[in-house]
Structure 1
Amino acid sequence: MQKIAIMVGSVYGGAEYVAEQAVELLSKKGYQARWFQPPELDAVQAFAADCWLVITSTTGQGDIPDNLFPFYADCRDRFPLLTGKQFAVIGLGDSSYGDTFCAAGRQWFELLTELQGNPKADMLEIDAGETLQAEDVALPWLAEQF
């Protein structure tokens, strides 16, 4: 059974709701999906996941939410190579913010690529201006990727 580590960055709970639904979907598909709340690098590495899934909204001026930023900084600073591991990123944002739309997700995608992870697909960008319920877009995408 493949293991999937799920890390979530949320401000108002939208990304957390997507993560709850993702755990259920992935578990039904036979994966061992574990949501790390809050994510800590040592715990995520000890889980020995085959794939890292990051689901994050964007806050401020394109920033990673406070509940996910310490994990991001730890990954950036300690640089745990993900060679041979896959990753997927779901970015939630609002395109009316222009250049900062889904910027937290893009930062994660870039970092996981630098850590030599293999993307399962291009990052999924979900626009709150077009989609009221992010899970309506995220779940079909996850079902297709996994």
Structure 2
Amino acid sequence: MWNLSLGKGSLVLSNPNRAIGTIVNDWTHSTVSVYQSGTPVGINTGYFYTCNTSCWQNIPTRGLYDLAETINQISTQTIANIDLSLQKGVWIRDNICFRLRLDTFNALNTVLFPGPNTNPGDCCAHFITGSGWTGFWTVPEIQQNFPRALQVSGKTTF
């Protein structure tokens, strides 16, 4: 949490009168940032790769396969999320303070898409009007993030 350089004892308006001081004094700001790398993409292990005719073949009953369950070189989208908070304290008397707080979750409205379709049986990528791209290695247009949310709260301490 950081005190903003505004109002009594700060760099800007360091000695305001009472009316201005009520507006500019006692502001604080805080943030929570999350930055995560995506997870490795899992592959549907019901298929194996041979480039004879269709490249992707069903594994025969009791057949052996050597296809890895995850591909570490390909990962889902990186998560970058920022939550912000702004607080204003208003001193009513020497021992009574009202604090107003505004919180924003996913403040920059960062979009998070799911991983790609890893089922080789879904054939080649193709576009369907009204629903977008579908097929092997395509990423759906469905968002997995929470939308930006605002929360306002107030608290009196004495």
Structure in which a larger fraction of residues adopt strand: 2
TM-score (norm 1): 0.21
TM-score for both structures, normalised by structure 2: 0.20
- Name the larger-Rg structure: 2
Q: Relative contact order: is structure 1 or structure 2 higher (C-alpha 8 Å, sep ≥ 6)?
A: 1
Structure number with the higher helix fraction is: 1
